[in-house]
Amino acid sequence: MKILVLQDYLRSGGTERQSLLLTRAFAAAGHDTTLLTFRPGGVLAPTLDSAVAHRALQPFDTGLDWFAPGLRATVGRIQPQVVMCMGRMANCYAGSIQARHPYLAVIATMRTGKPLPWLFRRSLRQVRHVVANSHAAKATLVAGHDIAAEKISVIHNSLVFPPESTLGHDESLRAKWGATPATKVLLNVAMFRPEKNQRELIETVAELPRPLDFQLWLAGVGPARADCERLVAERNWGGFVKFPGFHSNPTPLYSAADLAVHASWSESLSNFLIEAQAHGLPTVAYAAQGLDECCVPGDTGFVLPRGDRAAFLAALTRLLGEPAEEHARRAARARAFARATFDPPRQISAYLELLQKLASAPVP
């Protein structure tokens, strides 16, 4: 097959990582695959290699995520059989691509819990098919956007960073940030955006009893980071809140942490939480679309009502205080669940089976 993966910009988010993973996997499976972005560059651009055929529409970075000059003409020149649109901006253009090129199988994707722009909603009705990355996202499409259930396939995100076989803490990284072997490290890996809600996460964790030896690591970059850093400085919380920055491969962070924590209110399926589970980190998160599919609720993870700090703190306190043997058993169950559910070959196979079916189907 000839496949085109469409993404606006290679920022550091989970959708962008999935775009790169899928592009590489489709190419490795022998398919002629191109990643087409609106903007050149981006935090993840340095991770591109010869395995990814990449083109950008903007000749220089205008800073405009929505600006896609010559998109429909470029699609015509590439002549793919399948176009898969990833992210909000790409999905806003999906419908017009389908209208311009009715012979193509254009696929929209639902990977967000945010309100959808009008163009996105229109695209959902125009495209050949929609992939939702959680059952909750599919339910939203059916009930909230009146999309026929048979037009939607659920394919979960793949593990971008499958865990290594070795277990145990990365003590050198813990020591770098002042964590002793007894310190419990709470980890959050996400772009710093208002909807990721790191500020509330900091304020919630700050209510943990001080006799507990813990740190909160907030890894990532983004426009909301400066506000979080000001909050920590103003409240003198630098002793337990750390900012490790962006990691192109966050595996060392997972290896150094004890628990994963998340306060986002706009997810469909959290890459961070499924990666954390795969690395054996029990999770505590506020409820958002699809988050209860990232773990085994009440066992490997706790998904709590949004804004219920008392419940969040109670779950954290329980996990921080449980015996080492029980923590190890919970971690083992988390690893087994995530590796079985989000196994990359399984997800890639599901995508390729769907793409082949759509590419070979007669034009409606």
pLDDT at 100: 96
Exposed/middle/buried for residue 17 (C-beta within 10 Å: 0-12, 13-18, 19+) = buried
Answer yes or no: is pLDDT of 88 > 90: yes
- How many whole angstroms separate alpha carbon 105 and alpha carbon 128? 6
- How many whole angstroms separate alpha carbon 302 and alpha carbon 113? 19
Task: Give me the mean pLDDT over the 133-157 stretch.
Answer: 96
pTM of the model: 0.91
Task: Give me the mean pLDDT over the 54-62 stretch.
Answer: 97
Give the H or E element holding residue 35. strand 32-37
pLDDT at 165: 54
Task: Give me the mean pLDDT over the 19-27 stretch.
Answer: 96
* Residue 345 confidence class, pLDDT cut points 50, 70, 90: very high
- pLDDT by residue (tens digit) across 211-261? 889 999 999 999 999 999 999 999 999 999 999 999 989 999 999 999 999
Beta-ladder partners of 198 = none
Top CATH class of 171-341 equals alpha beta
Task: Give me the mean pLDDT over the 198-216 stretch.
Answer: 94
pLDDT at 168: 63
Using DSSP, state whether 218 is helix, strand or coil: strand
Answer yes or no: is pLDDT of 122 > 80: yes
Q: Which of 306, 295, 307 is nearest to 331 (CA)?
A: 295
- Residues 294, 270 contacting (CB under 8 angstroms): yes
Q: Which of 27-41, 60-74, 166-180, 316-330 comes out lowest in average pLDDT?
A: 166-180
- pLDDT by residue (tens digit) across 270-307? 999 999 999 999 999 999 999 999 999 999 999 999 98
For 64-85, the DSSP string reads: -TT--TTHHHHHHHH--SEEEE
- How many whole angstroms separate alpha carbon 215 and alpha carbon 232? 13
Domain 2-158+343-360 matching CATH 3.40.50.2300: the answer reads no
Q: What count of other Cβ atoms lies within 10 Å of the Cβ of residue 310?
A: 10
Decide which of 210 and 96 is more confident: 96
pLDDT at 167: 58
Answer yes or no: is pLDDT of 33 > 80: yes
Give the H or E element holding residue 321. helix 309-321
> Percentage of the chain with pLDDT > 90?
89
- Residues 92, 120 contacting (CB under 8 angstroms): yes
Please, where in the chain does CATH 3.40.50.2000 lie?
2-158+343-360, 171-341
Exposed/middle/buried for residue 218 (C-beta within 10 Å: 0-12, 13-18, 19+) = buried
Answer yes or no: is pLDDT of 166 > 60: no
Q: Residue 131 gets which letter from DSSP?
A: E
Answer yes or no: is pLDDT of 350 > 70: yes
Which contacts qualify for 324-331: CB closer than 8 Å, 24 or more apart? Answer: 327/258, 327/282, 330/282, 330/299, 330/300, 331/280, 331/281, 331/282
Average pLDDT, the chain: 94
Task: Give me the mean pLDDT over the 25-31 stretch.
Answer: 96
pLDDT at 48: 92
* Residue 262 confidence class, pLDDT cut points 50, 70, 90: very high
- How many whole angstroms separate alpha carbon 281 and alpha carbon 286? 16
- Residues 42, 11 contacting (CB under 8 angstroms): yes
Answer yes or no: is pLDDT of 170 > 80: no
* Residue 171 confidence class, pLDDT cut points 50, 70, 90: confident
